[in-house]
Amino acid sequence: MTPLRKRMLEDLQIRNYSPNTVAAYIRRVAEFAKHFGKSPELLGPEEIREYQLYLIKDKTVSLSAYIQTVCGLRFLYSNTLHRSVSIDRIPLPRYEKKLPVILSPAEVQRLLAAPKNLSHRSNPGCACYRDPERLHGPHLYITYREDDKSRSLYVPPEHAQTARRARQAWAAFWEIGCSLAKFNRDRLHKQWQHEKQSRTPSASRSNSHD
């Protein structure tokens, strides 16, 4: 290990960079030095610019590898070599902003009609595999608890409407029950307040008589 690499490694560790980042920066700087066959101490802004163009045009590296190289060189020249190479001379690339893919109405319709379960799409035994018009779902399940366990009960399509009406009736019944419970709580609270107030004067007269 060269003294320069050792010093850069120590500088990265002092600043608490992650091991993966340290390894990436050291590797990218080593590739930079190997490309010119010289120590980075003997290289400057022009070589850096030339190497950036080489990575983009000739080597066509990925965006992540290019950013690692730029960040590694920035750290080396700014923190280890303390060179007056301006950060602007080692620019980061602009991120490509991709427009979202807009589906056509027909594509949206096919997407909504497709079975949600991936196993149904690839199972030759399923009806939808043989006949795309026979789609799965949407299925209706009723969830309930038994023995402190959550269980689901499958409702066949022919009984789905009845199950939905029953669920709506239960929701209405539950809402009425909650209203009655609140009414009873308020009524008992008022009764308790009334009894408390009626006992207070008697206790006061007893104390004054004594």
Which residue ranges form the domains of the chain, and what is each CATH number?
A: 3-89 (1.10.150.130), 137-204 (no CATH)
Closest CA to 29 of 78, 84, 94, 88: 78
pLDDT for 37 equals 93
Do 25 and 75 meet the contact criterion of CB atoms below 8 Å apart? yes
| Spatial separation of the C-alpha atoms in residues 114 and 118, rounded to whole Å | 10
At 126 the pLDDT is: 56
Please, are residues 4 and 80 in contact by the beta-carbon 8 Å criterion? Answer: yes
- Both ends of the chain: CA-CA distance in Å? 99
Q: Which two tokens stand for residue 161?
A: 């409407």
Three-state DSSP class for 82? coil
- For residue 198, count other CB atoms closer than 10 A to its CB: 9
One digit per residue, the tens of pLDDT, for the chain of length 210 reads 788 899 999 999 999 999 999 999 999 999 999 999 999 888 888 898 899 889 988 988 888 888 888 889 989 988 898 886 655 556 666 656 666 667 677 776 666 665 555 554 445 555 555 555 555 555 666 776 777 777 777 777 777 778 778 778 878 888 888 888 888 888 888 888 888 777 765 545 555 555
- Whole-prediction pTM: 0.45
Q: Are 25 and 34 in contact (CB under 8 A)?
A: no
Question: According to the model, what pLDDT value does residue 101 have?
Answer: 67
Distance CA 171, CA 163 (A): 12
- How confident is the model at residue 122, as a pLDDT? 47
